[in-house]
Amino acid sequence: MLRLLLLRHAKTERAEPGQRDRDRKLMPRGESDAQLIGAYMARHELLPDRVVLSPAVRTVQTWSHVAAALSGAPRVSQEERIYNASAETLADVIRESGDARTLLLIGHNPGVHDLALQLIGSGDIDAREELNEKLPTSGLIVIDFAFDDWASLHDKAGQLARFVSPRLIEAAAD
What CATH number is associated with residue 105?
A: 3.40.50.1240
In a domain, 156, yes or no: yes
Q: Phi/psi of residue 123, each to 5°?
A: 125, -175
Q: For 96-115, how does the pLDDT look when each residue is reduced to its tens digit (9 = 90+)?
A: 998 999 999 999 999 999 99
Strands (DSSP E) found in the chain: 2-8, 50-53, 75-78, 102-107, 120-123, 140-145, 158-164
Number of domains forming the structure of the chain: 1
| Per-residue pLDDT tens digits for 27-80 | 999 999 999 999 999 999 999 999 999 999 999 999 999 999 998 889 999 999
Give residue 104's domain range: 2-12+24-173
Identify whether 166 is part of a domain.
yes
pTM of the model: 0.96
d(CA 108, CA 76): 17
Domain presence at residue 44: yes
